[in-house]
Amino acid sequence: MAQTMKAVRGTRDLLPLETELWNRIEAIARQVFARYNFGEIRTPIFEDTGLFARSVGEETDIVSKEMYTWSDGERFNEQRIIEEWKKANETDDPAHTQAGRINVQGNPKFLAKLNELGVQLQVWRGVQVRPNLLSGYVELVSFRPGVSADAIDRLTRARELAKSDPESQIQHFAVRLRLVIPMEGDLGAWIDKKDVIVEPLAGRFFDSAQSLTLRPENTAGVVRAYIEHGLGESGQLQKLYYIGPQFRRERPQKGRYRQFWQIGAEVIGPPSSGSESALRDAEVLEMLATLLQELKIEGWTLELNSVGSAADRAKYNDVLRAALVDVAAKMCGDCQRRAVTNPLRVLDCKVPEDQPIIEKLPKIGDSLGQDSKDHFAQVTAALDAAGVPYKLNQRLVRGLDYYTRTTFEFTHGGLGAQNALLGGGRYDGLSEAIGGPKAPGIGFAIGLDRLVLTLQAQKSTVLETITVETKSDVFIAPVGKAQNPSALALARDLRNSGLRVELGDGAFRLSKSFEFGDKLARSIVLLGEDELAASILTVKNFMMRVQKKIPYGGLRSQPETSSAQESIERQINVFTQWLQLVAALTTDWTVENIPRPGHGLYDYHWRVISGEPPKILDYISLDKEDIGLSDEKRREILGRRFIALTKGKQVPV
Ligand code: HAM
């Protein structure tokens, strides 16, 4: 038996029930972003490796160890080698081929066949027979990145074709074969070249390889796009959000994957747009608090810090490096290395024995210049005013090099070791670092996988509503195979009106249809031969435990009506049946058409009745214009309106 294949370590599949929750979360996030006037941006999943090296930073863990990077193979430039070869061989006398030189020839129709075989040229090559007599022969020439058995084989086949195909017009000529490859191409030492002449040509015929990387994060890509499309030229603040997968080759564990998802946002613009203002920082943080609140995530902590300007950071790095000289020897191996390469990273250390030492190291707050201090004070003042709680954490320096001034993380106790639900901060110099104009910015990224874990741990109400909706509204059960086509027609009608429909199969026994129907849907419609003949559907509502026969002519093509009045009556009838069917499927209501009361804005009326003794729940009214709509259109508009009404009053499963 063939070995079974599994998802790659650190990646996983999300199946329908879980994706339902993901979609909900994403929908809520999109709604919140819309209220803050953010627009969506989608950048490619891979970028030039240099982008990440220059933004996230070469010394960071992400860039130095965790990226999926590959060289996007050197590309053979076929056009260039053909041009160069022709230049070197073609005669400048088009009428007469000089000895050893070529004329490019061939019947275009036959050339197309040659091209299909990977043979690009047919040439006439001159041979000096006697001092005054020039003769020649035909050469078929193929240009390839290297010698391969395939290339030899195709050239040989091309010659066979030239000899046999009248369109070649060279059936009676001597035909030689030539394979031109770049000098540095594979000479195919072990390949039988038969009688093919192999000609290595000097020159550059490979376009150099590009180093590409699966994005480990999306801020770099967004800022690259901001620069590439000149988004700053509008003079306005750009507010962009994204939802998508990111890739880091980390050790997988709970809440840490190699392909994970982020919901993120960036606020960026020229300084004149207000992009540097502390109010932007506070607004972004306030938006996050609102988003978490709407997602019903409880118990988060906002940890906040300022890492200062680039100059402040450099100063602190020196202070820290000096302070570490005496104590590094007592710390873990990682810290000893970091003390030299990237002292700031020491603050991320989680080794318990190192903590007392780290606590005594100089604090970044003491290295901040007055500007940075003022900026940070404005951020916290605005958060205080808006009532967003936070905790100052001077060790929060974050694992990416582009940060300046405000940095933050929202942590959650329910997540275990990987407790950062989201992280972000300001990056005032990032645009310039990747060749763009000055464009200060601030943003964040939420770990969507971790958000889901938190919600699942919380048994959130968002989750509960999802279990309810796993059931369809109706299961349509054709009683025999002959009813399958009508079943599809009914399913199409109901689905067009917004109902969620599961379609059974006439091959199922009735007991199986009922078993499936009960499991998958709130109600079942039986569609048998008799039902179709009598235009009556049998509807069983599992929730209400009632079975009803509903007259329903909707499955039959309607006879052409003679008068306008008859047509309206028929349409009222169709619509009444339609309402009755939907009511029976989803509720215990009945619906009846009532005569025109003689006043009011509308022309036609129905009432919705429920219970014993019957009580009127609601009225439905239509305009003349509405009733004149095509069946399909009417069902779409009115069916949906009615269904929305029934959904609002449905009994939960
Ligand atoms: P980050 O802190 O590297 O920041 O990632 C943000 C969030 O992504 C983390 O807090 C975590 O929830 C989630 N995350 C990171 N790695 C993994 C993983 N291996 N598995 C699961 N979830 C993970 C950034 O990516 C910055 N681009 C954020 C930002 C935007 N800063 C400014 N703008």
d(CA 501, CA 532): 19
251 C-alpha to ligand 1 centroid (Å): 15
- Determine the Cα angle at 568 with ends 566 and 573, to 5°: 95
The reply to whether ligand 1 has any atom less than 6 angstroms from the CB of 423 is yes
DSSP calls for 78-119: HHHHHHHHHHHHB-S-SSSPPBT-EEEE--HHHHHHHHHTT-
Question: Cβ of 277: how many Cβ atoms within 10 Å?
Answer: 19
- Amino acid in the structure at residue 306: S
pTM over 0.85: no
The residue nearest atom 11 of ligand 1, judged by CA position, is 447
- Determine the Cα angle at 315 with ends 216 and 265, to 5°: 30
**pLDDT at 594 (0 to 100):** 86
Across residues 140-157, what is the average pLDDT?
96
Q: Measure Cα distances from 30 to 16, 37, 280, 328 in Å.
A: 20, 10, 19, 46
The residue nearest atom 8 of ligand 1, judged by CA position, is 447
444 C-alpha to ligand 1 centroid (Å): 8
Q: How far apart are the first and last CA of the chain?
A: 44
Across residues 458-463, what is the average pLDDT?
66
d(CA 524, CA 512): 12
Tokens, residue 593: 């058409």
Question: Cβ of 547: how many Cβ atoms within 10 Å?
Answer: 13
Ligand 1 atom closest to Cα of 420? 10
Long-range contacts (CB closer than 8 Å, 24 or more residues apart) made by 319-324: 319/362, 319/367, 320/344, 320/346, 320/361, 320/362, 323/361, 323/362, 324/361
Look at residue 86 and tell me whether its pLDDT is greater than 60: yes
Across residues 618-624, what is the average pLDDT?
78
d(CA 280, CA 273): 11
Confidence of residue 653 (pLDDT cuts 50, 70, 90): very low
d(CA 53, CA 218): 13
Give strand pairing partners of 259: 247
For residues 177 and 139, is the Cβ–Cβ distance under 8 A? yes
The reply to whether ligand 1 has any atom less than 6 angstroms from the CB of 219 is yes
**pLDDT at 96 (0 to 100):** 60
Tokens, residue 569: 């009556």
430 C-alpha to ligand 1 centroid (Å): 17
**pLDDT at 356 (0 to 100):** 94
The reply to whether ligand 1 has any atom less than 6 angstroms from the CB of 57 is no
Helix-strand-coil split of the chain, %, nearest 5 = 40, 25, 35
Candidates 450, 451, 454: which one to mutate for ligand 1, based on the most atoms within 8 Å of Cβ? 450
For residues 63 and 47, is the Cβ–Cβ distance under 8 A? no
The reply to whether ligand 1 has any atom less than 6 angstroms from the CB of 216 is no
The reply to whether ligand 1 has any atom less than 6 angstroms from the CB of 448 is no
- Amino acid in the structure at residue 505: D
**pLDDT at 586 (0 to 100):** 81
521 C-alpha to ligand 1 centroid (Å): 40
**pLDDT at 572 (0 to 100):** 82
Long-range contacts (CB closer than 8 Å, 24 or more residues apart) made by 449-452: 449/255, 449/257, 449/260, 449/261, 450/255, 450/412, 450/415, 450/418, 450/420, 450/421, 451/25, 451/263, 451/295, 451/297, 451/421, 452/18, 452/21, 452/22, 452/25
Residue with tokens 């193979």: 73
d(CA 317, CA 339): 10
The reply to whether ligand 1 has any atom less than 6 angstroms from the CB of 257 is yes
The reply to whether ligand 1 has any atom less than 6 angstroms from the CB of 281 is no
The reply to whether ligand 1 has any atom less than 6 angstroms from the CB of 421 is yes
The per-residue pLDDT for range 554-610, each reduced to its tens digit, is 665 555 555 666 677 887 888 888 888 888 888 888 888 887 665 566 778 888 888
Cβ neighbours of residue 364 under 8 Å, at least 6 residues apart? 305, 306, 307, 308, 312, 316, 394, 397
**pLDDT at 630 (0 to 100):** 63
**In the chain, % of residues over pLDDT 90:** 63
The per-residue pLDDT for range 102-134, each reduced to its tens digit, is 888 889 999 999 999 999 999 988 888 887 777
369 C-alpha to ligand 1 centroid (Å): 28
The reply to whether ligand 1 has any atom less than 6 angstroms from the CB of 303 is no
Tokens, residue 109: 């129709």
* Residue 536 φ/ψ, nearest 5 degrees: -130, 130
615-622 sheet: strands from edge to edge: 590-594, 604-610, 615-622
Look at residue 632 and tell me whether its pLDDT is greater than 90: no
Cβ neighbours of residue 214 under 8 Å, at least 6 residues apart? 45, 46, 67, 68, 69, 247
Look at residue 439 and tell me whether its pLDDT is greater than 60: yes
* Residue 6 φ/ψ, nearest 5 degrees: -125, 160
Average pLDDT over the chain, rounded to whole?
Answer: 89
The residue nearest atom 13 of ligand 1, judged by CA position, is 447
d(CA 144, CA 76): 8
The reply to whether ligand 1 has any atom less than 6 angstroms from the CB of 383 is no
**pLDDT at 270 (0 to 100):** 98
Candidates 67, 217, 304, 305: which one to mutate for ligand 1, based on the most atoms within 8 Å of Cβ? 217
563 C-alpha to ligand 1 centroid (Å): 69
27 C-alpha to ligand 1 centroid (Å): 20
Higher-confidence residue: 601 or 421? 421
For residues 283 and 462, is the Cβ–Cβ distance under 8 A? no
